[in-house]
């Protein structure tokens, strides 16, 4: 490679930041690459917290977040703002992650300017446009704008090939979140959020997806309430997303429950270490399904469908749906049946070996040598 190539990484939400920061570190370590970072500001405090944990700084921050922002507002703000950043920097490659509105709008802005896009965590599909919403649309649209596709698993690569993406443009790398765990997990971790007694079982709970908000979220949390009332040795920690709609439902449904801790968003180091010390994980999140698999923690997914079937096939994950009774029954089975628990927690991790960032960076360097 003769000259230094400029890569512009763009992201805006907490999960993108967690999965892009280790990659940015790897890119910065290569002398033939120059890395610029643009935060869209789709999230504010939650993305800032991740940047602090990874000791990363952005070159640009579009700072678009507003309370109860709409998808159209986020899309327009990023198209306009990131378009301006691109016009100024004219990078050789734009790097986007996953399926957020940030990834969609940023890839579209790059596409409009004729700048190649690489998609990290490419090829996930639920094959249902309404779930997750609007992420299934976003990830498909990003694929259309992308030149390189970094698929975390063989199944994700297959999804892309089924949509006509050339085999030569797809790289199976594993998920960068497994790399992130290398930075965050600590043997000597301590926290007041961890149960004081080893006989207590901690359920790590997150729930805040856009399509869950309203009745599905209320149902999920009612199930949790009933479970803590029924099992005296079970404690629940529920870090709340700052979306006011989520906080309101959570406080109303779980506020005052004796063994439920509602807390502000955890920084990523606390989050990963508390998950690693929990008994099981109950979530509607995407990334937490991958982390749970890497940590050997059974994960019950409060959704009707997942774009991450690998965890279910490996045995570490189960779909618990959004129905209160189904969720309750699925959790009870794991709490009551030691054999089921042992089998699930011993399942292999299908999401990579922690070297995704190296593989992605190598592929980018090879692309520039073409």
Q: Nearest to residue 7, comparing CAs of 114, 63, 89, 88? A: 89
Q: Nearest to residue 19, comparing CAs of 128, 99, 125? A: 99
Contact partner at residue 239 from ligand UDP, ligand UD1, none, CB < 5 to 8 Å by partner kind: ligand UDP
User: Which residue in 9, 165, 170, 268 binds ligand UDP (CB under 6 A)?
Assistant: 268
88 neighbors 3 (Cβ within 8 angstroms): no
The CA distance from 184 to 25, in Å, is 14
Contact partner at residue 43 from ligand UDP, ligand UD1, none, CB < 5 to 8 Å by partner kind: ligand UD1
CB of 368 to ligand UDP, least distance (A): 30
DSSP-derived secondary structure for 320-335: --S-HHHHHHHHHHHH
User: Which residue in 3, 31, 68, 127 binds ligand UD1 (CB under 6 A)?
Assistant: 68
Q: Across-strand partners of 5?
A: 33
Of the residues 208, 209, 259, 318, which is catalytic? Answer: 208
Of the residues 119, 125, 155, 241, which is catalytic? Answer: 241
User: Which residue in 7, 8, 9, 14 binds ligand UD1 (CB under 6 A)?
Assistant: 14
Q: Is 239 in the site for ligand UDP (CB under 6 A)?
A: yes
The CA distance from 220 to 326, in Å, is 10
CB of 266 to ligand UDP, least distance (A): 4
Q: Is 42 in the site for ligand UD1 (CB under 6 A)?
A: yes
Contact partner at residue 260 from ligand UDP, ligand UD1, none, CB < 5 to 8 Å by partner kind: none
Residue 202, Cβ density class (10 Å: 0-12 exposed, 13-18 middle, ≥19 buried): buried
Q: Is 22 in the site for ligand UDP (CB under 6 A)?
A: no
119 is an active site residue: no
Q: Is 135 in the site for ligand UD1 (CB under 6 A)?
A: yes
Long-range contacts of residues 261-267, Cβ cutoff 8 Å, at least 24 apart: 261/193, 261/235, 261/236, 261/237, 262/238, 263/193, 263/237, 263/238, 263/239, 264/239, 264/240, 265/14, 265/45, 265/46, 265/49, 265/239, 265/240, 265/241, 266/193, 266/239, 267/49, 267/50, 267/52, 267/53
Contact partner at residue 68 from ligand UDP, ligand UD1, none, CB < 5 to 8 Å by partner kind: ligand UD1
CB of 356 to ligand UD1, least distance (A): 19
User: Which residue in 5, 11, 13, 311 binds ligand UD1 (CB under 6 A)?
Assistant: 13
CB of 133 to ligand UDP, least distance (A): 12
**Residues labelled as active-site residues:** 99, 121, 135, 208, 210, 241
């Amino acid at each position: 490679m003769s000259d230094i190539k400029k890569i512009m990484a763009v992201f805006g939400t907490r999960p993108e930041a967690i999965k892009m920061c280790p990659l940015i570190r790897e890119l910065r370590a290569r002398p033939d690459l120059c890395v610029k970072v643009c935060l869209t500001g789709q999230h504010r405090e939650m993305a800032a917290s991740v940047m602090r944990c990874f000791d990363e700084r952005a070159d640009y921050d579009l700072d678009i977040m507003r309370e109860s922002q709409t998808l159209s507002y986020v899309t327009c703000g990023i198209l306009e703002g990131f378009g301006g950043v691109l016009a100024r920097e004219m990078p050789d490659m734009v790097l986007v992650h996953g399926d957020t509105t940030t990834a969609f709008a940023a890839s579209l802005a790059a596409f409009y300017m004729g700048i190649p896009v690489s998609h990290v965590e490419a090829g996930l599909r639920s094959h249902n446009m309404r779930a997750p919403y609007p992420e299934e649309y976003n990830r498909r649209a990003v694929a259309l704008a992308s030149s390189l596709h970094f698929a975390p698993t063989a199944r994700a690569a297959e999804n892309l090939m089924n949509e006509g993406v050339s085999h030569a443009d797809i790289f199976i790398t594993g998920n960068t979140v497994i790399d992130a765990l290398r930075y965050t997990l600590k043997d000597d971790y301590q926290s007041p959020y961890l149960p004081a007694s080893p006989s207590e079982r901690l359920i790590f709970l997150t729930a805040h997806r856009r399509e869950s908000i309203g009745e599905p979220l209320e149902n999920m949390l009612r199930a949790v309430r009933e479970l803590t009332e029924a099992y005296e040795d079970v404690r629940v920690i529920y870090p709340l997303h700052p979306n006011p709609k989520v906080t309101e439902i959570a406080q109303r449904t779980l506020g005052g429950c004796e063994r439920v801790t509602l807390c502000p968003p955890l920084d990523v180091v606390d989050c990963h270490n508390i998950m690693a010390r929990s008994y099981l994980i109950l979530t509607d999140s995407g990334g937490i399904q991958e982390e749970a698999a890497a940590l050997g923690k059974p994960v019950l997914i409060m959704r009707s469908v997942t774009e991450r079937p690998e965890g279910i096939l490996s045995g570490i994950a189960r779909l618990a749906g959004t129905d209160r009774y189904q969720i309750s029954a699925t959790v009870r089975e794991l709490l009551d049946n030691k054999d089921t628990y042992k089998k699930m927690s011993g399942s292999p991790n299908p999401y990579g070996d922690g070297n995704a960032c190296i593989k992605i960076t190598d592929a980018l360097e090879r692309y520039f040598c073409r």
